[in-house]
Amino acid sequence: MSHYPALRLRRSRASAWSRRLHAETVLTPADLIWPVFVTEGEEEEPIAALPGVSRWGLKGIVERAREARDLGIPCLALFPNTPHTLRSEDGREAVNPDNLMCRAIRAIKDAVPEVGVLTDVALDPYTSHGHDGIVDPAGYVLNDETSAVLVEQALVQARAGADIVAPSDMMDGRVGQIRAALEANGHVNVQIMAYAAKYASAFYGPFRDAVGSRGLLKGDKKTYQMDPANAEEALREVALDLAEGADSVMVKPGLPYLDIVSRVKTAFEVPVFAYQVSGEYAMIEAAAAVGAGDREALVLETLMAFKRAGCSGVLSYHAPLAARLLGA
């Protein structure tokens, strides 16, 4: 006589078809946003710190948009590698309507209008000091002065055709100011995805290489990005951004902060996104390169973890690989 109870949980796991039938979480290419880096010129520029990722000129960016469309990836996130000659203390190139970001937006929307374009609203790709805003003589990032520039930056991106503007700077009050400016200027359908809980993380290093900011940063970003020790503060940040008009919110980085994703989703029941950042990507690639794990399995498992935690979608450099695997 069996000593097992009548219910055996392994029964539903015994066959592949049954595992599919009982899956509680579903991951598809439509859950992905693909971050891509834009550069001047037309030569592909491989990024050493991000194996398999490159910077692309405008033609290459359009090709990536077509690739995303064909793979079922609904949206690209653009990040510019601004030439150092155009960087300044005040980041004024950010509000140039013909800057690299705006030209890339127009190129994509002209060629592949059905693919969404998400743009980064922050000054760090444009400042000579590597901070996300305007700094005072002591090196402190000035909140209100920075926010005024961010509003203009969001407007030039919206005029170029951006579908989603994503303030990643962590200044207080900037979401409300951007929303008001978009409404006042007729951009009522431009979404705001607020980097609401962005932590002062050690996982951003390869990204700074990709946008040309490595070595420029004076000091750190701990006076405006969040302390990794804090979770309740993340809920306060999210509440403020939603009250100011954010359509969706983001948690960044990703895997080390899945508890934050889950708490935000439970507390607010709004679209929550996570950014699987450059350091997370680089760790998976490094593990795969030395045989410590299977790349494809690691990619799909980590992306599934985001969905399981409550994400509506994930920004990931592995998006094209994942889309191919999911579409196979």
Residue 304: C-alpha distances to residues 27, 115, 196, 311 (Å): 6, 23, 22, 9
Q: How far apart are CA 106 and CA 193, in angstroms?
A: 20
> Rounded distance, CA 225 to CA 246, Å?
18
Q: Which two tokens stand for residue 152?
A: 């203009």
Q: Is 298 exposed, middle or buried (0-12, 13-18, 19+ CB in 10 A)?
A: middle
CB 148 within 8 A of CB 181: no
Q: Which residues are catalytic?
A: 198, 252
Can you tell me the distance from the alpha carbon of 318 to that of 255, in angstroms, rounded to the nearest whole number? 14
Three-state SS at 117: strand
Alpha-carbon dihedral of residues 24, 28, 31, 36, nearest 10 degrees?
140
Grouping H, G, I as helix, E, B as strand and the rest as coil, residue 80 is: strand
With CA atoms as reference, report the closest residue to 192 among 182, 200, 205, 201: 182
CA-CA distance, 122 to 254, in Å (whole number)? 20
The secondary structure element, H or E, covering residue 108 is: helix 100-111
**Contact yes or no for 193/249 (Cβ under 8 A):** yes
Instruction: Count CA atoms closer than 13 A to 224's CA, side-chain side.
Output: 27
